[in-house]
Amino acid sequence: MKKFYILLIALLAVNGARAQSCLPQGITFATQAQIDNFQTNYPNCTQIDGDVTISGTDITNLNGLSVLTSIGGRITINGNDALTSLTGLESLTSIGGRLEIYTNEALTSLTGLESLTSIGLSLIISGNYTLTSLTGLEGLTSIVGGHLTINGNDALTSLTGLDNVTSIGGLLDITGNAALTSLTGLEGLTSIVGGIQIYFTAALTSLTGLDNVTSVGHIEINYNDALTSLMGLGNVTSIGGTLNITHNTALTSLTGLEGVTSVGGHLFIEYNDALTSLTGLGGGDFHLGRPFYLWQRCPDQPDGIGQH
């Protein structure tokens, strides 16, 4: 029996040595050599308690970080001109802070993040000019305390990869993704606490993909030149704050807002040049908490423009 307990203690000690937390002050990787030597320099380090920054012009892969299972702080991946994917982070399951991926000029996919299930704060994907897909984020189910920000990714054509995200604690912010034609990939979303902001997404034709969202803090849909309808918002019944739909030059209809019965803040519908009717806005009793501002083309006006 005594030998058994000695063996058990030895096994526990070995397992503890294999997996342990480290680096409460965080770490910055600025070269490929630092990544390659990580397991040698920090043996048995699988859970980094602090922040992690990966930023180096010669970094081509993250294979040296394959032992990492969690990061207690935020992880920032930026300015890596030669990095094409996130292969090497396959064991990473959780991030306590933000995940920031921005200005990585060669990054074409997020392959390598398949095991990631939770992010404590925001997910920010911005200025990755060759990123075509969000594939690799399929394991992610919630963004608890922050925003989902997808901005300025010029080659991104869809949001497929976010299919299993059901709730966002902050904003859904989609701005300046020039090739994004749809919001397909967001069908799992039911709750967006902070609100929806969609700006300067020139190829977006509809909001299909948001079809299962039922509650939202506010909605701002502005400067989307190809947007012709608001289809995709059909299950939204109440908006806690402002509803702002402005400068969408191809918008011909408000179809998609039939279910909205309550707007807690201001209502702005302005400078949508092709919009000639407010049909589609609200169904049944409609409650507006603040003043409204409408500016639309009116057929009965000599110049076709009227304010209401």
* Digit-coded pLDDT (tens) for 132-147: 999 999 999 988 889 9
Q: What is the mean pLDDT of residues 196-224?
A: 94
**Residue 116 has what pLDDT?**
96
What confidence score (pLDDT) does residue 57 get? 96
pLDDT at 104 exceeding the cut of 90: yes
Model pLDDT, residue 281: 80
pLDDT at 144: 81
Residue with more model confidence, 15 or 41: 41
Average pLDDT over residues 111-120: 95
Q: What is the pLDDT of residue 278?
A: 83
Q: What's residue 282's pLDDT?
A: 67
Q: State residue 300's pLDDT score.
A: 46
Long-range pairs for 123-126: beta carbons < 8 A, 24 or more residues apart: 123/98, 123/99, 123/147, 123/148, 123/149, 124/98, 124/99, 124/100, 124/149, 124/151, 125/101, 125/149, 125/150, 125/151, 125/153, 126/100, 126/101, 126/102, 126/150, 126/151, 126/152, 126/153
**Model pLDDT for residues 228-255, shown as the tens digit of each residue:** 999 999 999 889 999 999 999 999 999 8
Q: How confident is the model at residue 200 (pLDDT cuts 50, 70, 90)?
A: very high
Task: Give this prediction's pTM.
Answer: 0.87
Residues 131-165 as b/e (b if ≥16 CB within 10 A, e otherwise) read bbbbbbbbebebbeebbbbbbbbeebbbbbbbbbb
Angle at 17 between CA 13 and CA 20, to 5 degrees: 120
Statement: residue 124 has pLDDT above 80 = yes
Evaluated on CA atoms 294, 298, 302, 303, the torsion sign reads positive
| Mean pLDDT (whole number) for 139-163 | 93
Per the model's pLDDT, the better-predicted residue between 299 and 211 turns out to be: 211
Q: What is the pLDDT of residue 286?
A: 59
Query: What ranges do the domains of the chain cover?
Result: 18-307
Question: What pLDDT sits at residue 145?
Answer: 85
pLDDT given at position 308 = 41
Calculate mean pLDDT across residues 82-93.
97
Q: Is the pLDDT of residue 295 over 80?
A: no
Please tell me the predicted confidence (pLDDT) of residue 211: 94
Confidence of residue 115 (pLDDT cuts 50, 70, 90): very high
User: Is the model more confident about 299 or about 219?
Assistant: 219
Reported CATH class of domain 18-307: alpha beta
Give the pLDDT band (50/70/90) at residue 275.
very high
CB atoms within 10 A of CB 83: 28
User: Does pLDDT of 158 surpass 60?
Assistant: yes
Q: What would the mean pLDDT of 186-194 be, rounded to a whole number? A: 92
